[in-house]
Structure 1
Amino acid sequence: MQKKLIRVTTTSGSLDGLLQNQLKFMSDYFEVIGISSKGIRLDNVRKEQGVRVIPVQMSRSISPFKDLVALYKLYTIFRKEKPFIVHSHTPKAGLLSMIASYFAKVPHRLHTVAGLPLLETTGIKRQILNFVEKLTYAFSTRVYPNSFGLEKIILDHNFINKDKLKVIGNGSSNGIDLAHFDPNLFSQEDNHALRKELNIGENDFVFINVGRMVTDKGINELVEAFCKIQETYSDTKLLLLGEFEEKLDPLLPDTMEKIKNNPNINYLGWQWDVRPYFAISNMLAFPSYREGFPNVVMQAGAMGLPSIVSDINGCNEIIINGQNGCIIPPKSTEHLYNSMVDSLKNGTSKFKNVRESIAARFDRSVIWNAILAEYDSLTPNPQKK
């Protein structure tokens, strides 16, 4: 009989996107169950990855009553299913499932850290988030930062002892599917048609950003830098792919106005498939304030695009400055502007072996097998803390 593995994320988008096809891979070795909040993408996990799913509504924001309800539901599920491993991702799912699995006597309670929102908060909220992070780690048996930079931050903040921490492979939660993210899948005719549809000239230089349209992704700085570039370079375009979060982390009103009114900024919303947009772009501009190990930077690189990224953990582990992109100080519109202008003036041909750099370090099959090896190293021990 296969041992049970339960993977938990706060939202269905994370279970479907962050762990794309990983649950299917693991189902060859475990009986896998996916848990997240209700959503169409939870059903996608069931259909496309062929695993059982259980909806448990979880709020990303602090909501004591909803959190207690979710905690109890998770506890009852874990008591009933008796999994060998509960492995969580994302902050709220981590907190709730680590506590619930502890009291349900799950022997192996694993949590992957893919970013620390607390790094951009201050005051009482920061103290609360620090406490929550420590609590999550205290109830876990293993904690996996998905970058070496995150591991250092966790240790610097004394959230956990080093012997409970481990970075798997070269980092990343899921690696990159090189067969899927391949620029050769898109013909010149395909690219020409999409550029025409988006009113992009054949000689226009296209910057792209993929991710949540929020302040801590550096979107305010990106839009400001791009609009300044437009004063000198009219043959440039900016593609923005992602959703706004007006309640959790809204953009500045001035930024919203510029996105709405600048004809050279194409806001395309959230897209199921970002590859066609990478295929018509010249460079990823990703000036995020904080990350775990950003999939979008790996995806862009696999599609042959160099990236401008902030000098933060994850980003500065994927990008090798001057080789497959450039690294700039975070929250600096000036440095972002200068790097974008340099790319416009001198092109991107100086960045060599962009796709090869990603393939050599972050091939998805390597990451999956490293996680599987970690699971295989575990032995039943209900007393383990």
Structure 2
Amino acid sequence: MKPKLIRITTVPISLDKLIEGQLAFMKSYYKVLAVSSSGETLTQVAKKEGVRVVPIEMSRAITPFKDIKAVWQLYRLFRKEQPFIVHTHTPKAGIVGMLAAKLANVPIRLHTVAGMPLLEATGIKRTILNVVEKLTYSCATKIYPNSKGLEQLIIAHNFTKTCKLKVLANGSSNGINTSHFNPQLYTNTQKEALKQQLGIAANDVVFIFVGRLVGDKGINELVQAFKELTVNSEQFAMCSEQLTANSQQPTTKLLLVGSLETELDPLLPETLHEIITNKNIISVGYQQDVRPYFAISKVLVFPSYREGFPNVVLQAGAMGLPSIVSNINGCNEIISEGENGWMIPAKKSIAIKTAMERVLLDSKLYTKAAGNARRMVQDRFEQQVVWDAILEEYRLLEEFVRET
């Protein structure tokens, strides 16, 4: 009989995107149950991955009473289902899931760290989040930082014993399916149709951001940098397709793919105003499939303040895009300076602007990085390698528990 595996995230979009395909893969080896907050997306995950789902409400904010209720509901679920493994992702799912699993005596309790929001917190909030992080790790049997940088941060902050930590494969929570994220899937006709739909001229140079449109993703700085970007269109014509005598001179466009979050981390009013009023900024909201938008773009700009191991940088690379990224955990393990992209200091709009100008004005710089982008992702972060590493870890832990 297959042992039971329960995977938990705070919100269902994380099941759908953060570990997409992984539940279906694990179904061949385990009875898989997915748990997250309720919603249409959770129902879609059940159909897409072919697994059972159970809705349990979890809040991403600090909500003690709701969190205690979630712990109690998860405890009851674990006592009923008797899982051999509980594996959590995202901070809130981590604390409520690991605590409930510990109380229910689940044999193997695993938590993946894909980012640390507490790094941007201060004062009493930072103190509370530090305590929560330590409690999460103390209840888990193993902790998986999804980047080497995160592992070092956890050690530096003394959140847990070093022996509990392990980075699987080369990092990442899910790797990248480079057959799915493949620029060859999109024809020139398809790309031109999408450009026309969005009001992008054939020769325009498109910088793209994919992710939540929030402060700690660096959107305020990105929009400010783009507002100040002043490069003569004739100077960066080399970044576009060959111009004809009658063709329109190219301009730069900023394509924002992602949803606003007005509660937890809203953008500055002046940023929102610029997004709405600047005709060269195109915001398309959340998109179920981001590949077509990568396909019409030249460079990913990802100026995040903090990351674990950002999937979007892997996705962009697999689609043949070089990236401008903050020199932070995860990003600096995917991007090699000048080889497949460029690193800049976080929270510096002038650094973003300078990097964008440099890309526009130096064709050799761009061509080299674009030529390396897909190959470097394929070589290090192919999805099946990550899945196999997680499965092997499950098997090793199972064997250890059964022998003891």
Give TM-score, length-normalised by structure 2. Answer: 0.93
Partner of 1:360: 379
Tell whether 2:346 aligns with 1:327. Answer: no
1:255-334 equivalences under 5 Å are 255-334=271-350
Partner of 1:109: 109
Tell whether 2:388 aligns with 1:369. Answer: yes
Change (3 A) 1:181 1:14: same
Alignment partners' CA distance in 2, 1:311 and 1:298? 15
In the TM superposition, residue 322 of structure 1 has moved relative to its aligned partner by 0.4
In the TM superposition, residue 64 of structure 1 has moved relative to its aligned partner by 1.2
Alignment partners' CA distance in 1, 2:402 and 2:378? 39
1:377 aligns to what SS in structure 2? helix
In the TM superposition, residue 44 of structure 1 has moved relative to its aligned partner by 1.3
For 1:84, give the aligned amino acid.
Answer: F
Alignment partners' CA distance in 1, 2:84 and 2:152? 29
Alignment partners' CA distance in 2, 1:71 and 1:134? 17
For 2:374, give the aligned amino acid.
Answer: R
Tell whether 2:80 aligns with 1:64. Answer: no
RMSD over equivalenced CA pairs, Å: 1.3
Question: Which whole-Å deviations, capped at 9, do the CAs of 1:237-271 have from their partners, x for residues lacking one?
Answer: 00001111111001111000000100100010000
2:207 aligns to what SS in structure 1? strand
> Would the aligned equivalents of 1:147 and 1:314 in 2 still touch at CA under 8 Å?
yes
**After TM superposition, which residue ranges in structure 1, 4 or more long, deviate above 2 angstroms?**
230-234, 379-384
Partner of 1:251: 267
Partner of 1:73: 73
Alignment partners' CA distance in 1, 2:39 and 2:306? 26
> Would the aligned equivalents of 2:337 and 2:343 in 1 still touch at CA under 8 Å?
yes
1:237 aligns to what SS in structure 2? strand
Tell whether 2:187 aligns with 1:169. Answer: no
Number of aligned residue pairs: 384
> Would the aligned equivalents of 1:213 and 1:242 in 2 still touch at CA under 8 Å?
yes
Question: Which whole-Å deviations, capped at 9, do the CAs of 1:287-333 have from their partners, x for residues lacking one?
Answer: 00000100000000000000000000000000011000001111111
For 1:106, give the aligned amino acid.
Answer: V
> Would the aligned equivalents of 2:231 and 2:357 in 1 still touch at CA under 8 Å?
no
Unpaired runs of at least 5, structure 1: none
Give TM-score, length-normalised by structure 1. Answer: 0.98
Change (3 A) 1:383 1:242: farther
In the TM superposition, residue 382 of structure 1 has moved relative to its aligned partner by 9.3
In the TM superposition, residue 167 of structure 1 has moved relative to its aligned partner by 0.2
In the TM superposition, residue 350 of structure 1 has moved relative to its aligned partner by 2.4
Partner of 2:16: 16
For 2:390, give the aligned amino acid.
Answer: I
Partner of 2:129: 129
> Would the aligned equivalents of 1:107 and 1:382 in 2 still touch at CA under 8 Å?
no
